[in-house]
Amino acid sequence: MSSGKISRRRFLQNSGTAAALWMPHRVNGYTQQELLSFFDEEGMRREISKWELDTPCLCLDLDALEANLVHMQETITRNGIASRPHAKTHKCPTLAKMQLQTGSIGICTAKVSEAEVMFQHGIKPIMMTTTNVTPTKIKRAMGLREANPEFIQATDSAQNARLLSEAASSLGITADVVIDIDPGGHRTGISPGKPALELAQLVDQLPALRLRGLLCYDGGSQHVKGFSTRRQQTLERMLAATETFDLFNKNGLTTEIFSGGGTGSYNIDHETRGLTDVQVGSYVFMDAQYMDIGGLNNDTQYTDFDPALTILTTVLNDQYPGRCTTDAGAKACTVNRPWARVKGETGLSYSSGSDEFGTLRYEDYPSRTYRVGEKIELIVSHCDPVVNLYDTLYAVRGERVEAIWPIAARGMSV
């Protein structure tokens, strides 16, 4: 990394051609290693601005994060349900702990490796929403259950339930299980109604399993635009899960857990009778995909949560009209759509189709232009896959870097 200091000789060379335009000024830039050395038990000892961070990097606005946590908790508490946030979004134990401290009853994970990392960091109430079907993963999941009595595993077939029971039995444990119900998208889960009931009855009878209830996550409804359309679709598609909930109850099976819902339906899900908790993920960060869906109080913009997660990128080239090139391409932003957005500016569009380079284009009335070396702050396109590209989150208050949080489950895709 460049020290940012400019030698006297270099200055004189430059000043020969552009002395009137070019003024040397002190520029600090810190590697992550250097930043870590500025921390002690008291926290960050130096005043370091996020604009001094090496790029591309991931920043988390603490004021926005805290507002998002509080708004979620206040809303669901008012509506009489709980939250079991999905750690697939942030993969960060520090954030999972903040969610639990704010009142969440547990967390969810999508991968067994993710669940292991969360447990290694002291988080116990974990529900794994994805089924584990291979012998290796079943062994890992049941091994985790042996170490962590608060681990709950989803299942969606009789064959899988039998394998889970065998693995649990060989470890001498009784594993907690929820039935994953398909909301209609046929991605995962068993069909609601009789098939789900029969699976629940089997789980209830298998020697080494304990039925805890059901889950039904309707991903297909989360990004439906317009609150009333989204509400109608969500409630319609969750109806079969509620009927299944009723069937479980009629047959004396536990429905202690009825989990579902996400960031797009968090203030709708309490209308699904029986639902106990929402598996919300993106609300902590927000992203461009969610910003356009519209909410209860704003038909076009989803303003319930503040965009807290941003990528900082540096301009590498400003030599061509109408555009500049940055250091944050697909490997820093993903190629998800809509593209990342420049925070706080208008008349600018960003794309990250090239591996290492991003393109910023000036539209008709750009609110500003950029020069080489200047930094740009981007609201992420889709938070989950972006987080998975970085090792650390820089937690920022205002412009000041307050903490560095490891994304400990980054890359845990197994």
Residues that bind ligand PLP (CB under 6 A): 86, 89, 108, 129, 217, 219, 222, 262-264, 279-282
User: Whose Cβ is closer to ligand PLP: residue 90's or residue 375's?
Assistant: 90
Instruction: Name the minimum Å distance from CB 81 to ligand PLP.
Output: 14
Q: Which of 47, 51, 64, 32 is nearest to 377 (CA)?
A: 51
Residue 332's nearest CA partner among 55, 131, 63 is 55
Of the candidates 30, 21, 25, the residue with the CA atom closest to the CA atom of residue 6: 25
**Least distance from C-beta 64 to ligand PLP, angstroms?**
16
Beta-carbon neighbour count of residue 144 at 10 Å? 21
- Of 284 and 340, nearer to ligand PLP (C-beta) is 284
Task: Indicate the pairing of strand 126-128 with strand 151-155.
Answer: parallel
For the CB of residue 99, give the shortest distance to ligand PLP in the complex, in Å.
12
Minimal distance, residue 261 CB to ligand PLP, in Å = 8
Q: Annotate 166-197 with b (16+ C-beta within 10 A) or e (fewer).
A: ebbbeeebbbbbbbbbbbbeeebbbebeebbb
Q: Max alpha carbon distance in the chain (Å)?
A: 88
Question: 176 or 384, CB closer to ligand PLP?
Answer: 384
Collapsing DSSP to helix, strand or coil, 311 comes out as strand
Six-digit token string for 224:
């439906």
Nearer to ligand PLP, 35 or 107 (CB): 107
Smallest gap from Cβ 102 to ligand PLP, in A, equals 15
CA distance 377 to 370: 12
Question: Which of 159, 221, 167, 234 is closest to 190 using CA atoms?
Answer: 159
Contact partners, residue 65, CB within 8 Å, separation at least 6: 95, 98, 284, 285, 308, 395
| Smallest distance from ligand PLP to CB 329, Å | 24
Q: Which CB sits closer to ligand PLP, 240 or 401?
A: 240
CB of 386 to ligand PLP, least distance (A): 13
For ligand PLP, the closer of residues 6 and 100 by Cβ is 100
279 or 310: CB nearest ligand PLP: 279
